Structure 1
Amino acid sequence: MGQEVTLRNFERENVARLAELANNVKVVAHVRDNFPSPYTVSDAHYWIDFCQKNHGNTSFHQAIFLGEEFVGGIGVLRQDDIHFYNGEIGYWLGEPYWGRNIMTQAVIQMTSWIFENTTIKRLFAGVFETNPASMRVLEKAGYHLEAIHRKAIVKNGIILDEHLFVKLG
């Protein structure tokens, strides 16, 4: 690969590239419906504003860089109530960067940071059955398939299985 994968804060200078990479139906096909589509510059400004606010110990979001180039995003949402020590990890990567081991490195870095800097003890990710590449990312990052929730989600009008991957800290 040649260039280092790093996680950094989202900044204003990421707006145009964020909107460009996120406005892709192939990216949107593998994320939750609350991910805007089409993804506009206004959506990018909203997201960066959200990420720059202090969310205490409930929400952790980072921009993914390959060298000095913004390529995607990753985050963890702490759960609440009796699930307080759980966090849901989610991520996306711009299509030009798929298949280059970038996301595996980002997931490893984010996972390590969460376990070292928060009280979260269990990270999990739900992956659509249509996204084997994301399943492989999690496996390479040390996550294990804990369950398959049959016909548990709907994306684009299609009912799908959700594969639940977990890593304990």
Structure 2
Amino acid sequence: MDPSGTVLISERLRLRPFVMEDAPAVAGLAGAREIARCTTRIPHPYQEEMAREWISTHAGGWARREHAIFAVSQKDTESLIGAVGLEKIHREFFHAEIGYWIGVPFWNRGFGTEAVAAVVTYGFSTLDLHRIYARIMSGNRGSAKVLEKCGFSHEGTMKEHVYKNGKFVDIEIYGILTDEPAPGCNEPGKESSAGVSMSSRRELFRS
């Protein structure tokens, strides 16, 4: 089964793989100063060519079962509003790191929480992960609230772990285990939100 065609559907969102045509929208949304200020890896300015280069890496990551990165779009309009995904998928240790950003015009509407909850469900129910973790910049209370609403617990602080905006910044670690499901997670034995039955989950990312 090819996982690169995976689409996740939630109440208001459609999560799908990125396509190159998304590059202008990605550059427009991720290029906001507010996004760069609260993320460790998105620079400012963020140009369309950077978005194209980033999107071009996705197919290989899906094929190697190393990541599962989704474009976050509104279900009713299909408009792109952000990104969410699992990276560093470790099939031996059954864990992965989740990352996400939502465009500034769409903040404070619960979209980040809804997208993260859908991907956590996918990671546990379909990819058979045992643990999902996140690393966020200290002081990014909005992102912390998203994780807490999705059942993540604060696990510790990496002191002055990254250099950002001319200074060293602490990184906060959050994590969730498979028996600590996010709100709305599917129960064992039910169809996953990706349309992949539980019986086929091991074949998806272990073949």
Match status 1:25 vs 2:33: yes
Runs of 4+ with >3 A deviation: 79-82
Mark the runs of 5 or more structure 2 residues left unpaired by the alignment.
Answer: 1-10, 179-207
Aligned to 2:187: none
- Aligned equivalents of 2:65 and 2:127: distance in 1? 7
Contact 1:79 1:85 in 2 (8 A): yes
Query: Alpha-carbon deviations, 1:136-169, whole Å to 9, x = none?
Result: 0000011111112233332212222221110111
Aligned to 2:202: none
Q: What is the 5 A alignment of 1:32-111?
A: 32-33=40-41, 35-53=42-60, 54-67=62-75, 68-78=78-88, 80=90, 84-111=93-120
Contact 2:90 2:96 in 1 (8 A): no
Match status 1:165 vs 2:162: no
Instruction: State, as a whole percentage, how many aligned pairs show the same letter.
Output: 28
Partner SS, residue 32 of structure 1 = coil
Max Rg structure: 2
Structure 1 residue 24: deviation in Å?
1.2
- Aligned equivalents of 1:22 and 1:72: distance in 2? 8
Tell me which of 102, 124, 143 is aligned to 2:152.
143
Aligned to 1:117: 126
TM-score, with normalisation over the residues of structure 1? 0.88
Aligned to 2:23: 15
- Aligned equivalents of 2:123 and 2:163: distance in 1? 29
- Greater Cα shift, 148-157 or 138-147: 148-157
More strand by share: 1
Contact 1:10 1:52 in 2 (8 A): no
2:48 corresponds to which letter in structure 1? V
Structure 1 residue 79: deviation in Å?
5.2
Query: Alpha-carbon deviations, 1:17-74, whole Å to 9, x = none?
Result: 11111111110112223x3432111112112221233442211100011231100111
Name the Cα RMSD after superposition: 1.9
- Aligned equivalents of 2:71 and 2:44: distance in 1? 19
1:147 corresponds to which letter in structure 2? G
Task: Summarize the Cα distance change of 1:43–1:56 in structure 2 as closer, same or farther, 3 Å threshold.
Answer: same
Structure 1 residue 81: deviation in Å?
9.1
- Greater Cα shift, 152-161 or 86-95: 152-161
Contact 1:104 1:141 in 2 (8 A): yes
TM-score, with normalisation over the residues of structure 2? 0.73
